Amino acid sequence: MTIAYARNLWKAYRPGEWVLRGVELKVEEGELVVIVGPNGSGKTTLLRILAGLLRPSRGEVRVCGHPPWSLEAKRCRGVVMHHSFLYDELTVAENIELYARLNNASSYVSASDPIVEKLGLRARLSQLAGWLSFGWRRRGDIARALAHKPRLLLIDEPLTGLDPDAAKTLTVMLRGLADSGTAIIAATPKGEPELLGIADKVYEIREGKLLEMGKR
């Protein structure tokens, strides 16, 4: 089943200055897609459109069959961007629960959930988010994005700021999530081999278009 698609998607922030020029993308359930491109190539712009944070200039885009800015799409997707969405004054566990409730999830990621275990977060659940180091905050953000068990995870630069062990743990976890049915779109400027190694499909973003580089 198709979880996310974009058809002939165009985006300019200023008239005539096109960042995306006819992007075509289709992501199926359980598919892990990595988008590689240099700084400023439009990766975050594309993720922000799929995340419902930005409207496209032209073209068609759907998340779980709905426009990305709709409530249905919001509940269907988890988002991890450059900046953290955690509330500093809440603990990691409270942040997770809050986001799950905001998304009206009937069940959410609890302390005993394998996701918490896999992210190594169990010992940090009662810590205030504002006290976390960058790498731990990043893991907290990932747990928060997965709190309502979304069908689509959008993640910008997943490995940035993580130490090698945490990067390895995260790639294994992302592959496991995809294998259990979650569609994942990850963007990276670096094309880290460990991330490319777990991808079902790799795209390069070049001159505002997605070019398929390889399939598993």
Ligand X SMILES: Nc1ncnc2c1ncn2[C@@H]1O[C@H](COP(=O)(O)OP(=O)(O)OP(=O)(O)O)[C@@H](O)[C@H]1O
Nearer to ligand X, 36 or 64 (CB): 36
Nearer to ligand X, 19 or 23 (CB): 19
CA distance 54 to 69: 8
* Cβ-count burial 79-101 (b if 16+ within 10 Å, e if not): bbbeebebeeeebbbbbbbbbbe
CB of 48 to ligand X, least distance (A): 7
Q: Of residues 9, 33, 41, 109, which one binds ligand X by CB under 6 A?
A: 41
Binding range to ligand X, per CB under 6 A, among 26-34, 37-45, 95-103, 196-204: 37-45
Q: Is residue 45 a contact residue for ligand X (CB under 6 A)?
A: yes
Residue 113: HSE in the Cβ half-sphere, 13 Å Cα cutoff: 21
Q: Is residue 43 a contact residue for ligand X (CB under 6 A)?
A: yes
Q: Of residues 13, 67, 104, 206, which one binds ligand X by CB under 6 A?
A: 13
Question: According to DSSP H, which parts of the chain are helical?
Answer: 43-50, 71-76, 92-102, 114-118, 134-145, 164-179, 193-196
Q: Give the count of residues interacting with ligand X (CB under 6 A).
A: 11
CA distance 22 to 30: 25
Nearer to ligand X, 113 or 157 (CB): 157
Q: Is residue 37 a contact residue for ligand X (CB under 6 A)?
A: yes
CB of 97 to ligand X, least distance (A): 30
The residue nearest ligand X at its CB is 44
Site for ligand X in 174-193 (CB under 6 A): 189
Q: Of residues 44, 95, 103, 171, which one binds ligand X by CB under 6 A?
A: 44
Nearer to ligand X, 41 or 182 (CB): 41
Site for ligand X in 69-88 (CB under 6 A): none
Q: Are 24 and 7 in contact (CB under 8 A)?
A: yes
Pairing status of strand 152-156 against strand 58-63: unpaired
What is the torsional sign of CA 170, 191, 187, 216?
A: negative
Q: Helices 134-145 and 164-179: crossing angle, nearest 10°? A: 10
**Partners of 156 in the β-ladder:** 187
CB of 133 to ligand X, least distance (A): 22
Residues that bind ligand X (CB under 6 A): 13, 19, 37, 39-45, 189
